C-alpha cells in the first residue's frame, strides 16, 4: 500500500517540470478512448467530424453556446456538452493524482472485466492549450469565428488540452480538464491509444524504474524527454485500503467529487435504490 502512494510521489517528482494529465480506470481492460469514438461507425476522423459538426449545429439551434461573453467557440461548446454527458471527442482528465487514483480504486461495472484498476499519467507539456490560456496567432480576420479554434486544434499535428472557461461544480471539485486529438490515421496508430497520437518509444524497464526512484533526474536524465506517459496497475487487493486512505487523508469521497444534484441522486444514501449507483468507472 505504501509503495502505491510512493510511486505517485516519484512520478510527480520525476515530472516536476512537466504538465501531467491524470486519469483513473476502474479496470485495466478499459481503453482511453473518447465517448464519441466509441459510437459504432465512428472509427475515422471524417465520419467523427461529420457527426461532431451536426451535434454542434443542433446544440446551437437548441439555444446553447451563448452567454454574457457572446458566442462560445466550438471547442468551448464541446467542453460544456461533455460536462453534461453528451458524447464528444474530449476525454476527461484531472491535474490531481489522488482524484485519478480514487477513480482507479472503484469497481468495474461489467462482469468479466479485470477488477484491477489502472492509473494513467500523460505528459501534456508540449501540447497546445485552449480555453483559459489562448494560443498566440489568432487570425485577425476569420471566416468562422465560432469554429476557428477547433479547426486550429485539429490541425495542430498533436493532441491538445482544453480548459473550461466556466467550469461547473463537479469539474472544479475534480480539478478536471480535457484532452483530445483528431482520430489517428492507420499509419499513425503506433501508440497504445485509439484517440491520441502519442509516440510510444521503447524504454528499458530497468532504466524507467531507476529514473522514477531518482526523481531529481540524476539517473538516466534523457528519459525525462522521452517519457510521454506512465501507467500504474492498481491491484484489486489494494483498492479498499487505498480508498480509506484517500478518504481520510485526501478528502476524496463521492460527496466531495460529485457536489451536484446528479451526484446526490446517484451516490447519496438518501437516494432511492433505483436511482443510486455505487459504481464509478472512470474520471468524469
Average pLDDT over residues 30-59: 92
Cα distances from 126 to residues 151, 164, 182, 228, in angstroms, run 19, 19, 17, 10
Average pLDDT over residues 93-108: 96
Residues β-bridged to residue 177 = 93
Which of 43-47, 80-84, 179-183, 224-228 is predicted least confidently? 224-228
Q: What is the pLDDT of residues 176-198, one digit of tens each?
A: 999 999 998 877 665 678 889 88
Q: Where are the alpha helices (DSSP H) in the chain?
A: 2-14, 45-61, 74-83, 97-104, 148-154, 169-173, 205-213, 236-250, 254-257, 261-267
Output the CA torsion 210→211→213→214 (10° steps): 120
219: pLDDT confidence band, cut at 50, 70 and 90? very low
How is the chain split into domains, by residue range? 2-267
226: pLDDT confidence band, cut at 50, 70 and 90? low
CB contact set of 44 (below 8 Å; sequence gap of 6+): 183, 185
Q: Is pLDDT at 162 greater than 90 in this prediction?
A: yes
Residues β-bridged to residue 88 = none
Q: What is the pLDDT of residues 45-81, one digit of tens each?
A: 999 999 999 999 999 999 998 766 678 889 989 998 9
Q: What is the pLDDT of residues 245-268, one digit of tens each?
A: 999 999 999 999 999 988 898 888
DSSP state of 223: G
Is the pTM above the cut of 0.95? Answer: no
Instruction: Based on DSSP, count helices (H) and strands (E) in the chain, helices before strands.
Output: 10, 9
HSE of 127 in the Cβ direction (CA atoms, 13 Å)? 27
- How confident is the prediction for the chain on average, in pLDDT? 83
Tell me how long the chain is. 284
Q: Is pLDDT at 174 greater than 90 in this prediction?
A: yes
Q: What angle do CA 112, 22, 176 make, to 5 degrees?
A: 105
Average pLDDT over residues 223-239: 84
244: pLDDT confidence band, cut at 50, 70 and 90? very high
Q: Is pLDDT at 141 greater than 50 in this prediction?
A: no
281: pLDDT confidence band, cut at 50, 70 and 90? low
Q: What is the pLDDT of residue 278?
A: 47
Average pLDDT over residues 126-136: 72
Amino acid at each position: 500500500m505504501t509503495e502505491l502512494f510512493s510511486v505517485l510521489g516519484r512520478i510527480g517528482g520525476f515530472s516536476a517540470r512537466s504538465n501531467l494529465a491524470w486519469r483513473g480506470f476502474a479496470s485495466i481492460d478499459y481503453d482511453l478512448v473518447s465517448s464519441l469514438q466509441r459510437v459504432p461507425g465512428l472509427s475515422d476522423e471524417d465520419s467523427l467530424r461529420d457527426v461532431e459538426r451536426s451535434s454542434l449545429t443542433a446544440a446551437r439551434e437548441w439555444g446553447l453556446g451563448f452567454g454574457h461573453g457572446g458566442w462560445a467557440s466550438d471547442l468551448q461548446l464541446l467542453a460544456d456538452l461533455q460536462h453534461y454527458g453528451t458524447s464528444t471527442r474530449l476525454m476527461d482528465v484531472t491535474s490531481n493524482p489522488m482524484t485519478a487514483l480514487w477513480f482507479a480504486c472503484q469497481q468495474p461495472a461489467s462482469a468479466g472485466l479485470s477488477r484491477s484498476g489502472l492509473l494513467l499519467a500523460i505528459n501534456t507539456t508540449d501540447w497546445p492549450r485552449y480555453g483559459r490560456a489562448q494560443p498566440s496567432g489568432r487570425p485577425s480576420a476569420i471566416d468562422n469565428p465560432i469554429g476557428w479554434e477547433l479547426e486550429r486544434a485539429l490541425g495542430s499535428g498533436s493532441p491538445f488540452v482544453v480548459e473550461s472557461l466556466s467550469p461547473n461544480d463537479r469539474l472544479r471539485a475534480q480539478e478536471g480538464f480535457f484532452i483530445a486529438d483528431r482520430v489517428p490515421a492507420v499509419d499513425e496508430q503506433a501508440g497504445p491509444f485509439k484517440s491520441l497520437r502519442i509516440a510510444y518509444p521503447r524504454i528499458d524497464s530497468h532504466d524507467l524504474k531507476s529514473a522514477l526512484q531518482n526523481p531529481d533526474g540524476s539517473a538516466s536524465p534523457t528519459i525525462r524527454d522521452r517519457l510521454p506517459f506512465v501507467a500504474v496497475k492498481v491491484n484489486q487487493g489494494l483498492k479498499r485500503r487505498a480508498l480509506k486512505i484517500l478518504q481520510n487523508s485526501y478528502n476524496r469521497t463521492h460527496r466531495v467529487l460529485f457536489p451536484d444534484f446528479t451526484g446526490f441522486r446517484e451516490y447519496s444514501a438518501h437516494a432511492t435504490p433505483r436511482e443510486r449507483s455505487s459504481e464509478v468507472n472512470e474520471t468524469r
